Chains A and B, each alone.
Chain A
Amino acid sequence: MTKKYSKWIWGIPLWILAIAFLAPFAWMISTALKPDVDAYKIPMQWIPDPFQWDNFSTVLSGATSVLPAFGRSVFVALLRVAGELITATMAGYAFARMSFKGRDKLFLLYLATAIIPAQLLLVPRFIYFQKLGLYDTLWALILPGMFTVLGTFLMRQFFVSQPAEFAEAARMDGANEWQVFTRIYLPLATPVMSALGILAFVWSWNDYETPLVLISNPDRYTLPLSLTNFVDEQGQIAPGLTMAASVISIVPVLVVFVVLQRRFIAAMTHTGIK
């Protein structure tokens, strides 16, 4: 009885805190559904009156639609995730489970570059992509994301922890190196690969700084950039449309988060300490 009671002593204040914590999201949804004149009403009007569903139809159709940007974000994210998974898994496996000349030196080189912040590389990337004709194309966002040092580390850390006897047994049976990789170790790696895939997806989906620097044509905006498009005649942010588009931008990560919550949290904590 006392146990149950104490559960609520902590539970109630924490739930109140959680609801306060959610207020910005509630405000976002509320504002997305009301006329702009009501956005700054005093006191705040949480339940829109009237409901203005038009905000959503405006940001989903016609010239103002965010759907093309949504599509570009999906395209960029899918290619980045696929590319990173393929190249990082192979490289991580080789660093962990194969031995060849210069491997350790190469790995040290990887270690050294891993702590370089992406922001430092933006100036040279900006110049290169202009020379290569990739500036202001989606490839400027996709290509660097397909080949990552961090993904390679994650995969290597996993493969290092796997028993080597599996490989010995497979080689006895006449498997070549590629078969040892694809048939023995790769199936074991699916949880780590899904964790890396989730992380890569979220990073790609939410990336604002890279396209801010490397994309200039509004016809090539990814979703985060396109959220800044909604301004009224005075150049002020249009609350209803901006919030409606913001809600739409959150849905995909939210779906991934809710559906794969366990994996998602494992991915976030795993990259850190384990």
Chain B
Amino acid sequence: MATATVVAAGTEARTAKGPGIRPSGWIGFLFIAPNLLGVAAFTLIPLISVVVLAFTDWNLVSGLGGITFNGIDNFVAIARDPGFWHAVGLTLVYVAVSVPLTVVLGLALAIALNRPLPGRAVLRAIFFLPYIVNVVAIGMTWLMLMNPKAGLVNQVLDAFGVQPGWFASSHWALPALIVMAVWGGVGYCSLIYLSALQDAPRQLYEAADIDGASAWAKFRVITWPALLPTTVFLLVTMIIGASQGFGLIALITAGGPGDATTTISYYMYQTGFQFYRFGYASAIGLVTFVGVLVLTLVTWRAQRGRALND
């Protein structure tokens, strides 16, 4: 959500000059001061601290006096930490499955919802609903729906002869989280796609109709290129979202069974707030952040290359 706004703002950061904008001296600064002071106190200082902490071995037991800098020890330890790499692998699987699935299904849903339908506004609202509900209510509900013995999901699956163990099984716990993520995110994607579809060039569709183009040809040549920026936006924001959240995992599986759902964000949460190893947790957070940033940039670049080729 933040990313596109940031990018849009960044591209014309220096254009806000010209008539009507006069040097206002310190008055302009006064307008910004309340926000700036708060941002400095609650965002900038913590941000600097997390970078500094990443180079210490500080934990809760050693107290504030016990901070010692240990250079790049944390980062060396991370590189050798099998728990960390296990978490990275799980996170990559989770992101690589849930994000494209959500985006593709969201696109299909948006195209279906973009035509005249009975009760279209209500339909759109229904698919969007999970997105506005708090994660605890949703988590508790799915936990019971996916009860391996008597949950509704397995009652339905019984007809197909499959009975996954879901959150009780180390094989099925991650797929269960993916099912929840797709269900929760698909309506949001379709909503964003729907608003982009409104801007798709109408004349081109009319021209294509005259030429007798097939529905698939129209989608491939007109719709898909028009939606490409939206797709990249959704991929980027959802990659960031899916790799950072730990709430649902803390609530439902606590990383388990075993370490079957210990994703990187939950691993950091565990290190920081259950073992109180603040230095190491900060280093993990920093490495994760850089990793996600690289992943995001790769997605951007892939899109730019695609746009140029077309």
Contacts and interface: CB of A to CB of B under 8 A. Distances in A.
- Do these two chains interact? yes
Interface of A: 3, 7-8, 10-11, 14-15, 18, 21-25, 27-28, 31, 39-44, 83, 86-88, 90-91, 93-104, 106-111, 113-128, 131, 143-144, 146-150, 152-154, 156-157, 160, 163-168, 177-178, 181, 202, 205-206, 208-209, 212-213, 223-225, 227-228, 237, 239, 242-243, 246-247, 249-250, 253-254, 257, 261, 265, 268-269, 271-273
A124 B36 contact: no
Contacts of B233: 272-273
17 contacts: A3-B116, A8-B118, A40-B147, A98-B27, A104-B14, A111-B9, A117-B240, A119-B245, A121-B46, A144-B38, A147-B39, A148-B35, A153-B5, A153-B6, A237-B140, A269-B195, A273-B196
Given A147-B35, A250-B133, A108 B285 contact: no
Nearest to B272: A123
Given A15-B123, A27-B141, A120-B286, A113 B29 contact: no
A157 B244 contact: no
A118 B285 CA distance: 11
Contacts of A131: 64
B136 A208 contact: yes
Nearest to A28: B141
A48 to B, nearest CB: 15
A114 B6 contact: yes
A23 to B, nearest CB: 7
Interface string B197-233: 0000000000000000000000000000000011001
Contacts of A253: 132-134
A113 B155 contact: no
A223 B35 CA distance: 27
B4 interface: yes
Contact of B13 (A40, A108, A147): A108
A44 B143 contact: no
B29 A99 contact: no
B302 interface: no
B155 A209 contact: no
Contacts of A109: 44
Contacts of B28: 94, 98-100, 103, 177
Shortest 9 CB-CB contacts between residues of A and residues of B: A147-B38, A164-B20, A94-B31, A40-B150, A100-B28, A98-B28, A246-B137, A91-B35, A124-B46
A249 B183 contact: no
Contacts of B138: 24
B268 interface: yes
Contacts of B115: 7, 10
A interface, by DSSP: helix, strand, loop or mixed? helix
Contact of B43 (A98, A121, A212, A224): A121
B80 interface: no
A100 B33 CA distance: 13
A210 B53 CA distance: 20
A115 B244 CA distance: 12
A249 B136 contact: yes
A213 B273 CA distance: 7
B123 A18 contact: yes
B127 interface: yes
A115 B151 CA distance: 40
B23 A14 contact: no
Contacts of B17: 99
A97 B123 contact: no
B298 interface: no
Given A39-B144, A119-B246, 20 more contacts: A18-B126, A40-B149, A100-B24, A100-B29, A104-B13, A107-B13, A114-B2, A117-B289, A148-B39, A153-B9, A164-B18, A165-B20, A178-B27, A212-B247, A212-B250, A213-B269, A224-B135, A224-B137, A273-B196, A273-B229
B191 to A, nearest CB: 6
A99 B22 CA distance: 6
Contacts of A117: 240, 244, 289, 292
